Structure 1
Amino acid sequence: MSSNGADAAEAALIAAAERGDVAAIEEALGSGVAVDARDARRRTALLAAVQANHLDAARRLMEAGADVNAKDDINDSPYLLAGARGYLDILRLTLAHGADLASTNRYGGTALIPAAERGHVETVQVLIDAGVDVDHVNNLGWTALLEAIILGDGGPRHVAIVELLTNAGADVNLADREGVSPLQHAERDGYTEIVRLLRAVGAR
């Protein structure tokens, strides 16, 4: 295959993944295209499939050996993105295909931190069960617990996430860079249910 032909075939694979076209993915892989070929933004076909939440396409690519930890030019990987967006079925597949639980996004956060912030309750549970570090601190100086409080809305989903994190042994007194604790943030925002939960487990 000429280099131009190879480039075209790689582009076709990534475009097929973006459309969720499993037959076209099969065809591209059958022609010998590298499963982890990248586009101009350093996206692999698998990342393109995850961005569009195409489960069957993502599954086929993982079965073909696609790297669930391959990062694009903004440090998203299939695993990290599935966690951040709460794409549960794809996330479970990435975990079964060697997701690096310690890998971090462009903010220096694990998959658990954006999942907690965005209120993806089941995703948080799956990531905790997988063994992601509940006390990892990102580049902003925030843990998953702090993000769930500071960037959450104090509603039922974020309450549930705070409970999951505390049950998983998250350090409830791990403060932000200004020394403000999760409890102080929750009190300041008037999140009474989260305040109650945190106090019950010894938060100060």
Structure 2
Amino acid sequence: MSHDSDQRLVEAVRAGDATAVAEFLAGGANPDVAASRFQGPVIVDAARDGRLDLVQLLMDAGASIGPSGHFNVTPLRVAMLEGRAEVVRHLLAHGALATETVKRTSLLTEAVSYTRHRPGPAAVDTLRVLLEAGATPHPAEEALLITGVVGPVPPVVLRLLLAHGADPDQKRSDGTPAIVIAARHGDDAAVDTLVEAGADVNAGDRQGRTALMHAVERNERRVIATLLTAGAATGTVSSDGMTALQLARGWQRQNVQFMLGERQVGLDSVPIERTFVRIIPAAARLAGDPPMLHLLASAIDIALEDLGDDEWDTRTGVDAGTARAVALRLRDEITPATHGSWYELPVTADELAAPRSALVELAYGTTRAMPDGVDRWALTDLLEELDRQLGR
């Protein structure tokens, strides 16, 4: 058949013209013709576009569904990546899974990962189709649940894997349980999903550190609450002699100490074995729109006026003069970001403490005055968002 006829087939596939595709195939066009010099065969294009009718026509004409090109591209993998569940189902029914190469990440592992990178109902539906077809990871790959927790993927994906037989107590190749990985990541949704599926809430890693211990050390309070309400043991001792409470004391995490049952807490210097490196920045950059940055300035002004300099110094530990200077800078020195649409102000750690301390006073202290048009809940939300970024 002539090159002209093959090229017309390529154009018909690109246009999604099923009638023309059938006509050119009937006339002898090559069903494996490449879409271009650097692209795979036209069936790959049809699969990518989710055109099951075109895929069927090409397959009926003898098109190959195996790997092609330097990257071993297959219509099945392309359809999976694009979330074309019906095309995936059709290709699987015609043996496409057996044509996948072991030189690439397994189709199933990649499908799990793609629910994170390109989330949506189509990605979940495609993963479900692969699971129902019996697809498996390569022997050297991590178990799917571990891939999902490490991702991390949305909880719906973890529930889907668990519904298809994944072990909620699955361990990574180094012996770390999935629930511990989720706790280290601060993924309370994944922790809750695993607990609901029956995971051992007290499972430990190779050092005997439980999910609760890791969550405590990283100050992941939502994870801590999830684990404690699920019955996590607070008195477990790791192989290096640590307990959750010791770790909380060693990092001076007072709120966590209360969560663990302490009645009185302090800032004692308690030596512990740490598995976590905390970043304590000496400088920062506040970024936002001018009204939000001006709001921080107003919070400082109000708190200073209400408390007075001496009380402010005592309650916050921040010099009142420094606080006033920061408020002035927040109004007069913010500048547009070089490569963004927001405004910025570089601040030292001491300067950053001023707006945060002001928010604490307005949200939880005795100060009753509020910036114009802002209520206490809005300031509480802003404070919590800052604290999350600061790892408090």
**Structure 1: 5+ residue stretches without partners:** none
Instruction: Confirm whether residue 148 of structure 1 aligns to residue 148 of structure 2.
Output: no
Identify if the C-alpha distance between structure 1 residues 140 and 52 changes in structure 2 by more than 3 Å, giving closer, same or farther. farther
Percent of aligned positions with the same letter in both sequences? 27
Cα distance per residue 1:145-198 (max 9 Å; x no partner) = 122123x2x2xxx21211221222222121232101111111111222211111
Cα distance change of structure 1 residues 162 and 36 upon mapping to structure 2, 3 Å threshold: farther
- What letter is aligned with 2:102? D
Correspondence list, 1:107-146, <5 A = 107-146=174-213
SS across alignment from 2:96: coil
User: Shift of the alpha carbon at 1:24?
Assistant: 4.3
Distance in 2 (alpha carbons) for counterparts of 1:126 and 1:62:
19
Matched, 1:81 2:139: no
Is residue 2:259 matched to residue 1:197?
Answer: yes
Does the 8 Å contact 2:65/2:99 carry over to 1?
Answer: no
Tell me, what secondary structure is at the counterpart of 1:135? coil
Matching residue's letter, 2:193: V
Q: Write the deviation string for residues 21-53 of structure 1: whole angstroms up to 9, x where unpaired.
A: 434423431321347966336x43121111121
Inter-CA distance 119–59: structure 2 relative to 1 (3 Å threshold): same
**Counterpart residue identity of residue 185, structure 1:** L
SS of 2:67 mapped into structure 1: helix
5 Å-filtered alignment, 1:55-66, equals: 55-66=124-135
Among 83, 94, 102, the alignment partner of 1:31 is 94
Letter matched to residue 57 of structure 1: T
- C-alpha distance in structure 1 between counterparts of 2:155 and 2:255, whole Å: 26
Aligned residues: 188
RMSD between aligned residues: 2.8
One-letter amino acid of the counterpart of residue 247, structure 2: H
Once the two structures are TM-superposed, the CA of residue 87 in structure 1 deviates from its matched residue by 2.1
The residue identity in structure 2 corresponding to 1:80 is: I
Structure-2 change in CA distance of 1:82 and 1:38 (3 Å): farther
- Confirm or deny: 8 A CA contact 1:18 1:49 kept in the other structure: yes
Q: Go from structure 1 to structure 2 and tell me whether the alpha carbon gap of 1:124 and 1:35 turns closer, same or farther (over 3 Å shift).
A: farther
Q: CA deviation at 1:127?
A: 0.7
* 1:184 paired to 2:246: yes
Aligned to 2:103: 40
Distance in 2 between the 1:38 and 1:148 partners? Answer: 40
The higher radius of gyration belongs to 2
Pair 1:59–1:190, CA change in 2 (3 A) = same
TM-score by length of 1: 0.78
1:69-108 equivalences in 2 (<5 Å): 70=137, 73=140, 75-84=141-150, 85-108=152-175
User: Residues 181 and 79 (structure 1 numbering): CA distance in 2 closer, same or farther, change over 3 Å?
Assistant: same
Following superposition, the deviation at residue 86 of structure 1 comes to: 4.1
Greater RCO, CA 8 A, separation 6+: 1
Q: What is the alpha-carbon distance in structure 2 between the residues aligned to residue 35 and residue 105 of structure 1? A: 27
Match of 1:51 in 2: 113
**Conserved 8 A contact 1:35-1:66:** no
Query: Residue 170 in 1 paired to residue 236 in 2?
Result: no
SS in 2 for 1:95: helix
With normalisation by structure 2, the TM-score equals: 0.43
